[in-house]
Amino acid sequence: MKILLIHGPNLQLLGRRQPTIYGTADLATINQGLRRLAAARGASLTIVQSNHEGDIVGLIGASKDRYDAVVINPAAYTHTSVAIRDAIEASGVPTIEVHLSNIYAREPFRQHSVIAPVCRGQVCGFGPESYRLGLEAALGLAAPQVPAARRAARKGRRMGG
């Protein structure tokens, strides 16, 4: 299974930026835990952080046939980016939207996601745990996407075949 994780704008500031809202865990710590989880589940995890909408759109656009699922924290683009929304929809890759904070308990302008309607699901409000839950969901969605031949080949290798 191959999963793409995209961190949107300003998430490189985690641990320092508004810790009462986003917590004290930094991005490196969050990523380390997610890499461990993916490895334990036999998945490959590619992690990218970008402050640039076009870069994120490009990553999503290139995800078809490269990844079995996408986990994205679009951050501020959650509320404004039709381009990211359209890329997710066009890619056809199962996508999970995650947020550290509960966007529905925040300022009114943050309470609407233009991304959510084209995602398979959304996890928000659990701090760094939102990422773990989102990755677990993506792994569950990706498992049926992995071609039977790849699953059989992996099984054969584990059995010594």
Active-site position among 22, 67, 77, 131:
22
Are 115 and 74 in contact by the 8 Å Cβ rule? The answer is: yes
Known catalytic residue at 22:
yes
Known catalytic residue at 131:
no
Helices and strands (H, E) in the chain, number of each type: 6, 5
Are 69 and 93 in contact by the 8 Å Cβ rule? The answer is: yes
Instruction: Tell me how far apart the alpha carbons of residues 159 and 150 are, in angstroms, rounded to a whole number.
Output: 14
Active-site position among 7, 67, 99, 131:
99
The residues annotated as belonging to the active site are 22, 99
